[in-house]
Amino acid sequence: MDSLHFGELDDAHTRWLLNETVAGIGGYGNCMGIPTIGGELTFDDIYKGNPVMNAMSVGLLDIKDMQKGLAQGEGNAVMYVGAKTGRDGIHGATFASHSFDSEHESQRSAVQVGDPFMEKLLLEACMELTQKHADWLVGIQDMGAAGIVSSSSEMASEGKSGMELNLDLVPQRESGMSAYEIMLSESQERMLLCVKKGHEEDVKKIFDFYELDAVVIGRITNGHNYILRRHGEVVCDIPVTSLTEDVLEESSEEKQPQHMIDDAAKPAWEPEITDLAKTHKQMLAQPTIASKEMFTQTYDSMVRTSTVVGPGEDSGVLRVRGTHKGIAMTTDGNGRFIYLDPEIGGKRAVVEAAGNIIASGAEPLAITDCLNFGNPNEPEVFWELRHSVMGIAKACEVLETPVVSGNVSLYNETDDKSIYPTPMVGMVGLVKNLDHLVRDSLQEEGDDLYLVGQTGADYAGSELQKMLTGEISGSLNDLDLDHINANFP
């Protein structure tokens, strides 16, 4: 699933960015054999300088095959597997949370070079290891943001262990890399394993078969220190928890955005429409509303043939092989609503996702989120961030959908102009019986249509308001979460 937010399509550079993004998602996913079965795509000028691109990947596993990202057991090996480390992606995490200005395009360089075929080999090798030889493993984790330093320190912290790494042993595809570069590189297609002592060669044979590097780069140590060596010298010796738990917390200044105060003092905006049919056609032509088929057809939505419902409906659905169950999934986020009222907007994002899941005949299970915001050092932005999280949390508590994972992307601004606060909610649900799967397409002539729930004058932040006025404004009406939850079943 993806969640994409771009500037307006009348801008040539935006069209190029969108086309290249769609090509990248389709190309990598297709090569990996991962179907793209849904998502969302919106257009607002506010995203022109900082398009927002989030992706959600959903997997299935047998509980018996579950692994954790931990490292423990004195003497056990820390093994690096996958592609070699290069200088691509250094500072990728901080780059993803960085303010830009139009005069410094060179700032946009810390991007990883991906190889989907290498990733497919790595996936197969890791699945063989975890499913057939789990007794060799202590833990496994991907090298995501901040590369080796985050994965290794997090695994050691989770295992309440110490760790010593020799960076000379890290497979490198560029010469002269410093310890700093090796640790911070975010080169793709790499994993970190904690392997029980004595099984290092066994693990290496699996990855050799897939023509991937598999190297012991360190060991678990007694105590709780994180030690790095490079060219025979100790270049780092600090407590593991200093990187993971003992984080400095400072109170941040916050302030309710002035536009909210101003809007609250104004009467609610309502449209004046003289030709309903014409307005309806104009709405259908808005890029955010119009069919996205020209983009979704770029993706392979049927690879591996488990897809029951693909792009274009409320939720994508995969069958669970060997059962008559399905997994429904959706990604939803509306930055306009969060901008107008972060807490109510946060609730709406969760409720919209739950509504899409339920519309497929599925029961909501859990969410993940991506919190995309501007500069949190700005009091109004921090206020938006805190209150939107409060809204998401309140909705999840009432709907009993735990937040099981997520990430944060901050400083999304160009020339001191922030994007709309844009948390993306990805939700999964269970279709207990695929015979009860519901499609959102009309089935037969003569079928009745029912509107369930109350309709009020809710136009603030709507596509209609944007189309007729060129801007969004107003106050949002709150949600009765208990009433919604009572009616969802």
| pLDDT at res. 106 | 45
Domain co-membership, 305 together with 286: yes
| pLDDT at res. 108 | 40
Which of 430, 293, 416, 442 has the alpha carbon at shortest distance from 363? 430
- Domain annotation covers residue 183: yes
Confidence at 87, pLDDT banded by 50, 70, 90: confident
| pLDDT at res. 144 | 82
- Over residues 182-216, the pLDDT tens digits come to 999 999 999 999 999 999 999 999 999 999 999 99
| pLDDT at res. 91 | 62
Domain co-membership, 55 together with 167: no
- Over residues 439-465, the pLDDT tens digits come to 888 878 999 989 888 888 999 999 999
Domain co-membership, 355 together with 477: yes
- Over residues 304-346, the pLDDT tens digits come to 899 999 999 999 999 999 999 999 999 998 999 999 999 999 9
Q: Which of 218, 244, 270 is the last residue of a domain?
A: 244
Q: ∠ CA(479), CA(450), CA(399), 5° rounding? A: 35
- Mean pLDDT over all residues of the chain? 92
Cα torsion through 119, 125, 126, 131, rounded to 10: 140
End-to-end CA distance of the chain: give it in Å, rounded. Answer: 25
Look at residue 95 and tell me whether its pLDDT is greater than 60. no
| pLDDT at res. 204 | 98
Containing domain of residue 11, as a range?
A: 2-59+255-487
Domain co-membership, 46 together with 107: no
- Domain annotation covers residue 475: yes
Domain co-membership, 107 together with 143: yes
| Residue 151, domain CATH | 3.90.650.10
Sort strands 39-43 and 2-6 into parallel, antiparallel or unpaired: parallel
Residue, of 111 and 80, whose pLDDT is higher: 80
| Measured CA distances, 301 to 21, 39, 162, 310, 460 (Å) | 17, 12, 44, 6, 35
| Residue 433, domain CATH | 3.30.1330.10
Count CA atoms within 13 Å of residue 409 on its CB side: 24
Look at residue 272 and tell me whether its pLDDT is greater than 70. yes
DSSP state string for 384-438 = HHHHHHHHHHHHHHHHT--EEEEEEE---EETTEEPPPEEEEEEEEEES-GGG--
- Domain annotation covers residue 249: no
pTM, to two decimals: 0.91
Domain co-membership, 22 together with 101: no
Structure tokens at 87: 């200088």
What's phi and psi for 22, nearest 5 deg?
-60, -40
Domain co-membership, 225 together with 280: no
- Name the helix (H) or strand (E) containing 200: helix 200-209
- Over residues 25-83, the pLDDT tens digits come to 999 998 899 999 999 999 999 999 999 999 999 999 899 899 999 999 999 999 999 99
Overall domain count for the chain = 2
Sign of CA dihedral 239, 240, 243, 244: negative
Which of 316, 288, 390 has the alpha carbon at shortest distance from 8? 288
Structure tokens at 467: 């189309």
Domain co-membership, 31 together with 73: no
Look at residue 352 and tell me whether its pLDDT is greater than 50. yes
Q: How far apart are CA 467 and CA 290, in angstroms?
A: 13
Domain co-membership, 266 together with 232: no
What are 216's strand-pairing partners? Answer: 79
Look at residue 162 and tell me whether its pLDDT is greater than 70. yes
